[in-house]
Chains A and B, each alone.
Chain A
Amino acid sequence: MRGGARPAGPAGSGWAPHRIGGPATLSCDVLVIGSGAGGASVAATLVEAGRDVLMLDEGAHLDAAHAPASVPESFRRMWRGSGILAALGTPPVAYAEGRCVGGGTEINSAIFQRAPDTLLDDWAKRYRIAEFGAAALGPYYDRAAKVVNATPPPPDAGLPTDILRRGGAALGWKVVELDRGTRRCVGTNYCSLGCPTGGKQSMTATQIPDALSGGLRLIADCRAARLRLRGGRVVEVTAQARGADGRRHRVVLRPREVFVCAGAIHSPALLRRSGLTRCVGDTLRLHPTLKATALFDEVLDAHDARLPLTAISEFMPDRRIGGSVTQPGLLAMSLAEDWAERSWLMPEWRRCGQYYTMIRAAGTGTVRPLPLSAEPLVRYALTESDWTQLARGATELARVMFAAGARHVYPSIAGHPGWASPEEVLAQADAPLPRTRTSLMTIHLFSSLPPGERSDGVATDSFGRVSGVENLRIADASQIPEAPGVNPQATVMAMAYRNAEAFLAASGTKTRRTAFRERSAA
């Protein structure tokens, strides 16, 4: 490592990123900004092809041996903004992002779902994306599934999972088992805190160490601030690094090629700060999610079980019903909505579970950088049809909870008295939700830099190259054209492999495309 960067020392996983020890100027063949599902997939592909890759992440690296042991600690150390982020609107939508090496894959549940074939094919047509669609992406999904060891849940996944299975069965609704990227998972149920065992196959457990052993240089605690462009090329990237002593150092990077993989919020924010504005950060999409707390007669002990690993797929891709991690602290947070009326549930916490309905919304939002701030302003507006979907989703969620044996169901709507019977639910079926008192959240954000060959509404070409900039590419959730209705990690990885291989092919690097290889093997 040149220019003042030095190893941070050994860590429990046997590897550690570099940290910057002073002002530095670094050069590389390819700079990858962000180390989440997109960045790690690009880095792995390029390193395998023999390229000199330098990867930055704004956050620190916490390996499994040093994973946070509590939710507040995890929020501080691994979640962006200490977990306090929201897209402003009516209502604001709280959202979560990882801010650590490995990005969102370190704090998600590692659920691996392919986007529906019909959606992929539809996007290929409407956005005019070359070599896209279900058939074209299939081999890339296969590669992603293999990397994270995507496997179905065990049959005895626990009562919180069975709740959805039996509720769905009682109503005759389709239930899908959710594949997850795990290897010898012991069900700690701390997935969103940072897996303490290494069972979750996040990027720090899979592609990052593999790429490091292949020559990847990784710098943690280093935030890309701005791209400097000249003659239609990125000629320099300025960054700010935090050294081990806590001091901030200016870093100048001079790459030949740049992949921005900072996620659906921070990729467009970086481009806009750098003067690139055409179709940048204008079409943010997300999965608005309404949660509910359900009280059962039986003891669930959800805190000690695996998180629910099934989902009601009857209404997919428009709406999905699933389950959340339930721990006393997280349950209390949910009840804080209407603490005066709902605090009585806390002594019953062992009989409570938290479930949700998630919609594939049509609404869009914007990402705009703010002066003197590293965090952009995010806005989001639901459409009328989104509110209709949410109202239907709330009804379906309550119905399935009662079908599974719930005694009370409380949606995340302030002032809502909750439902005490399925008859009450049906009497109020699909009733409009109060817009200012409904609490929505999401952990799925995308579509802020959509690809394609259309003349309007796309920020990059079909393979992630930013319009008008020869050596700047995108590979993260911002490239997913619209909401996929499923957890996005698999699609992010598949599209990142595709963009990286297209770059290699365009730059003359001898490498076989994944699709070609898979077809040959078959």
Chain B
Amino acid sequence: MLQRVLRPIVAEFQPDWPVLSAADRATVREASLSDTVRAIRGAPPHFRAAVTLLALAAAAAMAVRGTAAGLGGPFRSFERLVRSLTLLSVFEHPAVKDALRVERGPDRQARMRALRADGVLR
């Protein structure tokens, strides 16, 4: 249920930059939805319940207003949380890291482990 409710909100919160191919954009959007939902499911129950209620209300407001942004009041914290989680996931996605020419996490880990094993200290 949470995934269904958050889908349009997470889609709205996708950044315009960096520019990705349509296929990559769709992949990143799905991954960020999945990451956001998993993060909220891992939150303490009282937070999870509040976020779920606010998500339902924000989705309803979005259906009327066309946007989930700028709702104000308790929705300010909700928007910040969902937008933060979405953006974190987007900019940690391998396709976006490639677009930014940032070393992917596993590659960096492997390189640093090799440096340490070789006794090279940066």
Contacts and interface: CB of A to CB of B under 8 A. Distances in A.
Given A336-B84, A377-B46, A197 B112 contact: yes
Contacts of B85: 72
B100 A349 contact: yes
Contact of A329 (B76, B91, B104): B91
A10 interface: no
A107 to B, nearest CB: 15
A76 B109 contact: no
B69 interface: yes
A333 B112 contact: no
B119 to A, nearest CB: 8
A325 B47 CA distance: 26
B91 A188 contact: no
B46 A196 contact: no
A341 to B, nearest CB: 12
A81 B116 contact: no
Given A186-B122, A197-B112, A373 B46 contact: yes
A69 B106 CA distance: 5
A519 B84 CA distance: 52
B92 A70 contact: yes
A76 B105 contact: no
Interface string A178-193: 0000001111101000
In this complex, the interface size class of chain B, counting residues with CB under 8 Å from chain A, is 35 or more
B88 interface: yes
Given A303-B102, A329-B92, A76 B87 contact: no
B108 A84 contact: no
Nearest to A332: B87
B42 interface: yes
Nearest to B87: A332
Nearest to B18: A347
Name which of B84, B104, B120 has the most chain A CB atoms within 10 A of its CB. B84
A87 to B, nearest CB: 12
A412 B105 CA distance: 27
B29 interface: no
Contact of A328 (B69, B84, B102): B102
Contacts of B45: 370, 372-373, 375
Contact of A375 (B44, B100, B108): B44
Interface in B83-103: 83-85, 87-92, 96-97, 100, 102-103
A58 interface: no
A1 to B, nearest CB: 29
A170 B15 CA distance: 37
B39 interface: yes
B115 A186 contact: yes
A92 interface: yes
A303 B80 CA distance: 23
B38 A82 contact: yes
Given A76-B38, A92-B77, A332-B91, A196 B44 contact: no
A129 B42 CA distance: 39
Chain A interface residue count: which class? 35 or more
A337 interface: yes
A327 B87 CA distance: 12
B40 interface: yes
Interface string B4-47: 00000000010111100000000000000001001111111111
Interface in A303-344: 303-304, 327-333, 335-337, 339-340, 343
A303 B39 CA distance: 23
Contacts of A373: 44-46
Contacts of B65: none
A333 B39 CA distance: 14
Contacts of B44: 81, 84-85, 373-375
B63 to A, nearest CB: 21
Contacts of A75: 39, 42
A333 B90 CA distance: 10
Contacts of B61: none
B43 A82 contact: yes
B17 A332 contact: no
B43 A71 contact: no
A188 B92 contact: no
A184 B47 CA distance: 40
Nearest to A77: B42
Given A71-B88, A186-B120, A84 B40 contact: yes
Interface string B34-74: 01001111111111000000000000000000000100000
A375 B106 CA distance: 32
A76 B91 CA distance: 17
A507 B108 CA distance: 49
Give the one of B41, B88, B104 with max A CB within 10 A.
Answer: B88
Interface string A406-450: 000000001000000000000000000000000100000000000
A221 to B, nearest CB: 15
Given A70-B92, A72-B35, A84 B47 contact: yes
Contacts of A188: 108-109, 112
Nearest to B76: A414
Given A84-B47, A373-B44, A328 B100 contact: yes
24 contacts: A64-B113, A72-B39, A82-B39, A84-B81, A85-B43, A86-B47, A184-B119, A186-B116, A187-B112, A197-B109, A197-B113, A199-B116, A303-B102, A329-B92, A331-B91, A332-B84, A333-B87, A335-B87, A336-B87, A339-B13, A347-B17, A370-B46, A373-B46, A374-B44
**Shortest Cβ-Cβ A-B pairs, 9 listed:** A82-B42, A69-B105, A375-B44, A332-B87, A84-B43, A329-B91, A196-B109, A328-B91, A329-B92
Given A82-B43, A197-B112, A328-B100, 9 more contacts: A72-B39, A72-B85, A72-B92, A82-B38, A196-B109, A328-B97, A329-B89, A339-B13, A375-B45
